[in-house]
Amino acid sequence: MLVCFSFTSITMQMSLPALCAGLLILRMKLYYSHLFNRRILIIFGFICTAIHRLFVTTPVHIVYGMCMSFLLLEGSASSVAICLLLMACVLLNVTYISVYILLLLEEVMLSVTLNMMNRPTDFRIVLYHIFARYSFFALGNMNTLSTLNVSAAFTGVKNYFPIINGTLLLVHTFLGPATMWSWFYRALNKSQRMYALPIIVWLHVVPLLFYLTVVTYLRHHLFIWSVFAPKLFYLAVENTICLVLSMVVSYSVYP
């Protein structure tokens, strides 16, 4: 029974990164010949993530290096989506990788449905905004500081480096919303991205200002530090990440 359980665990650890790689290649249509180099890099990256999940060895540093290279060379929505999927295979456990794959499949069905219905960009933005908020909670996050998975900040890092550990923790916590917005931007051209940017800013800034007003009014409440302040912290950080991502990919020359 122990051998069977071990074999099942190894199979899952290997199959989930492979499934992510296959889904990414199909979703981005990377089977075309002129995208051969990117396809090879993605497959190599997911092989490294599979090795890391099995043996917890140095390939995770290769994955981090590949992600930095993708972002520095392009800074596009496609490169962000690739990096986030690689990071998900490294940082998430088996359960939440499965949930993450289901979220990607839901995004595919959502995109296909919107294309069939021929909905305007405004409708798509609002729907993806709701979906991004849903993905935050689907990956096990809550609006309390006690749910932060601090161990994710030390994945592949032996010592304490505030910038590196903080970045890994942010990626792990807000992986869902960042992924949904990156996939959303991939489907837009340059003019559509510039049109969507002020709407996305409005959708993020207005709720934050409203909640900031509420927190200010309830500053003497008994649960201000245990309930209201953590919610404000999560909302502010998520909005900042999504807005920075939106601005970067909006002005990027790459799709």
Residue range 59-99, pLDDT digits in tens: 677 778 777 777 777 667 777 888 888 888 788 887 888 88
What is the average pLDDT value for the chain, to the nearest integer?
78
Prediction pTM value: 0.83
pLDDT tens string 136-164 = 999 888 888 888 888 888 887 888 888 88
Find where tokens 């909006």 sit.
Answer: 250
pLDDT of 172 higher than 80: yes
pLDDT the model gives residue 2:
40
Residue pLDDT, tens place only, 195-226 = 888 888 899 888 889 998 988 888 888 888 88
What number is the average pLDDT over the span 42-56?
67
Q: Name the pLDDT band for 135 (thresholds 50, 70, 90).
A: very high
DSSP the chain: -HHHHHHHHHHHHHHHHHHHHHHHHHHTTTTSGGGHHHHHHHHHHHHHHHHHHHH--THHHHHHHHHHHHHHHT--HHHHHHHHHHHHHHHS-HHHHHHHHHHHHHHHHHHHHHHHHT--HHHHHHHHHHHHHHHHHHTT--SSGGG--GGGGGTT--S--HHHHHHHHHHHHTHHHHHHHHHHHHT--HHHHHHHHHHHHHHHHHHHHHHHHHHHHTTTSTTIIIIIHHHHHHHHHHHHHHHHHHHHHHS-S--
CA distance 207 to 190: 27
